[in-house]
Structure 1
Amino acid sequence: MARKRFGAEQIIPKLREAEVEIAQGATVAVAAKKIGVTEQTYYRWKKEYGGLKMEQAKRLKELEKENARLKRLLADAELDKAILREAASGNF
């Protein structure tokens, strides 16, 4: 089965749809199947996006991307520092 990645723009409406189904008496399994995901995915989405509005979810994803980029830059800088430190000490 091919995996499909959903963005926050697709996840939030699907979560709302599932919540309506559950409020009408459907089980989580049935609601998850109706929105085209597994129960595990539903719970993961609910944990991550449960109380967020669309704009908040977009901002969260932007911040996560920026955080990952900054972590990579920091790791590169630390590596450069270590290389320079080693070269300066003469331990080639």
Structure 2
Amino acid sequence: MKRRFSDEQIIGMIKEYEAGVKAQELCRRYGISDATFYKYKAKFGGMNVSDAKKLRALEDENNKLKRMLADAMLDNAALKDLATKNY
């Protein structure tokens, strides 16, 4: 069963690790692999909950802007295609 942890829960895991709990114990307790834990640690290490929320908001905005750019590029390509056709 695949679990999805919130940013707050992941930061809590990392804080426990920094407090001295072994990584294997945390992985067993939360049901995740070592690789997943270290991936979380690389992404969220040294962050507070507010920092993680800001990161999530920036990632969401970035994805929205990428979708808008892709739509604009498709519209542009369609207009160029129409302009080059001879009717």
Question: TM-score, normalised to structure 1's length?
Answer: 0.84
Question: What is the count of residue pairs matched by the alignment?
Answer: 87
Question: Is the contact made by 1:21 and 1:31 (CA closer than 8 Å) also made in structure 2?
Answer: no
Which residue of 22, 25, 29 corresponds with 2:24? 29
Question: Is the contact made by 2:11 and 2:49 (CA closer than 8 Å) also made in structure 1?
Answer: yes
**Matched residue of 2:19: which SS?**
helix
1:49 & 1:32 partners in 2: Cα distance?
16
Unaligned runs of 5+ in 1: none
Question: TM-score, normalised to structure 2's length?
Answer: 0.88
Aligned-residue offset at 1:29: 1.8
Structure having greater relative contact order (Cα 8 Å, sep ≥ 6): 2
The one-letter amino acid paired with 2:8 is E
Partner of 1:11: 10
Partner of 2:73: 78
Aligned-residue offset at 1:20: 2.0
Question: Is the contact made by 1:49 and 1:57 (CA closer than 8 Å) also made in structure 2?
Answer: yes
CA RMSD of aligned residues (A): 1.7
Question: Is the contact made by 1:18 and 1:32 (CA closer than 8 Å) also made in structure 2?
Answer: no
